[in-house]
Amino acid sequence: MEPAASVAAHDRRGRDGWAVLPLRLWTGIREGWARVRAWRRIHFTSGGLVFTTGTMAVGFAAMNTGNNLLYLLLGSMLGFIAVSGWLSEQTIRGLRVERRGPRSVTVGHDLRLFYEVTNQKTRLPSMAIEISESGLPEKAFLAHVPPGGHATVRSVNSFVRRGIYPLGTVTLSTGFPFGLFKKERDVQIPGEIVVWPRTDRRVREPSPGAGRVPRVGINARGASGARGEYRSLRAYRIGDDSRDIHWKSSARLREPVLRQYERDGAETRWICLDARGEPGDAAEVAIEVAAALAAQAVLQHRPFALVTDTEVLEAGDGAGHLERGLDMLARIDFSPDAAAPVPPVDPNVCVLVSIDGRRGFGDLMVVGRGATLDYSEAAG
């Protein structure tokens, strides 16, 4: 029985291997084509198409008539095309591109990305270069990069929806020198842009007692905050208050560390976001309401915590903590079967932001299924 089972398993592996062979072959072809396509692409411009058609017409006329002047004109036009192709190739060859810019931006705000282009050629400059990126509508234009030098140019884009926008392919293109053809080359620069929800939506204050953790006993622990009784040290995170850096410990550990303090637990605002619902305007409004509540707490120098169906952001305060909350909100996906948020504290002291509402929470902010992205409205 064992040899038969071994043969059957071998046959099954063989059939599975033959089944995935076409998929592997297709994947290899696609990857190979992507590499070839990324190396160089060339397109006719409208002027180049007319010029090339005219060159072919002159060639036919020269062959039919044997006129030496037409042959001379044909040679000049073909040389014009050859020089155009060679110069455009030299323009985009030997360039190194680096992208710089913020990793995040708020919906509706301008995102400025900077591209530093270095010309690694020793004799020829690069001129009239257009820089575009897949997923971004706006382009950047670079007029001149001297040989062995570098130049910086920027593109300005804005986003109307929060979320994660992956970046990867930067395309260099040029029509230099005569605009007959547009030659392109792709450069892979991995990255992503985190688009935060807006925090300026007008929202009412939570009901008294809701969204605040009551103090239980005289030794109740609070949220870590900017000031209060010293608790411990932790690693520095972007956006933290530099005044809280413990310099002696930072020098000893060779990395910045911060003091953590106890704050009154009664000040902590617990924000629960219910992700149950169809993706759309109502879901985006609910996310913006949660973001506005968090920003409101930071302005009031009050720590806040954020809870969804899959994540819990522990209580904290300050601009750095708000950025972590906005990162979390930027990545949330709404679903009709999403579970209710489960806070690690009594739900009766939490504020629930929802499309339709749920029972069991201290305060509800229901945006309704008909909510739209109208910033003049206030959630209530």
The pLDDT tens digits for 96-139 are 999 999 999 999 999 999 999 999 999 999 999 999 998 888 99
Predicted local confidence at residue 225, as pLDDT: 44
Rounded distance between C-alpha atoms, residue 320 and residue 237, angstroms: 7
What's the token pair of residue 170?
A: 């930067």
pLDDT of 242-262, one tens digit each?
667 878 888 888 888 877 665
Residue 156's pLDDT band (cuts 50, 70, 90): very high
Rounded distance between C-alpha atoms, residue 261 and residue 29, angstroms: 58
Tell whether 324 and 209 lie within a shared domain: yes
pLDDT of 26-59, one tens digit each?
666 666 655 555 567 888 899 999 999 999 999 9
- 17 part of a folded domain: no
Tell whether 76 and 177 lie within a shared domain: yes
Q: C-alpha distances in angstroms, 312 versus 13, 19, 169, 284, 324?
A: 44, 43, 34, 19, 11
Tell whether 210 and 338 lie within a shared domain: yes
- 160 part of a folded domain: yes
- 21 part of a folded domain: no
Q: Locate the DSSP E strands across 77-209.
A: 95-100, 104-106, 110-119, 126-133, 140-145, 150-158, 163-174, 181-196, 202-203
- 1 part of a folded domain: no
Predicted local confidence at residue 28, as pLDDT: 66
Place of tokens 């992503």: 192
- 18 part of a folded domain: no
Least confident of 107-111, 144-148, 361-365: 361-365
Q: C-alpha distances in angstroms, 212 versus 64, 222, 290, 321?
A: 92, 11, 15, 18
Tell whether 178 and 209 lie within a shared domain: no
- Give the chain's mean pLDDT: 82
Tell whether 218 and 234 lie within a shared domain: no
Tell whether 251 and 159 lie within a shared domain: no
Amino acid at 339: A
Q: Given 3-state DSSP classes, what are the helix, strand and coil percentages for the chain, each rounded to the nearest 5?
A: 35, 30, 35
Q: Which domain holds residue 154?
A: 39-196
Tell whether 286 and 252 lie within a shared domain: no
- 169 part of a folded domain: yes
Residue where a domain terminates, one of 213, 243, 262: 262
Three-state SS for 149? coil
Rounded distance between C-alpha atoms, residue 93 and residue 97, angstroms: 12
Residue 207 near residue 363 (C-beta atoms within 8 A): yes
Tell whether 361 and 339 lie within a shared domain: yes
Residue 182's pLDDT band (cuts 50, 70, 90): very high
Q: C-alpha distances in angstroms, 161 versus 115, 193, 329, 332, 362?
A: 24, 12, 12, 12, 30
Residue 126 near residue 119 (C-beta atoms within 8 A): yes
Amino acid at 161: R
Residue 101 near residue 194 (C-beta atoms within 8 A): no
Instruction: Provide the CATH number for the domain around residue 117.
Output: 2.60.40.10
Predicted local confidence at residue 39, as pLDDT: 62
Q: What percent of the chain has pLDDT over 70?
A: 79
Reported as half-sphere exposure (CB side, CA atoms, 13 A), residue 332 has a value of: 38
Residue 164 near residue 107 (C-beta atoms within 8 A): no
Q: How many domains does the chain have?
A: 3
Other beta carbons less than 10 A from residue 206's beta carbon: 22
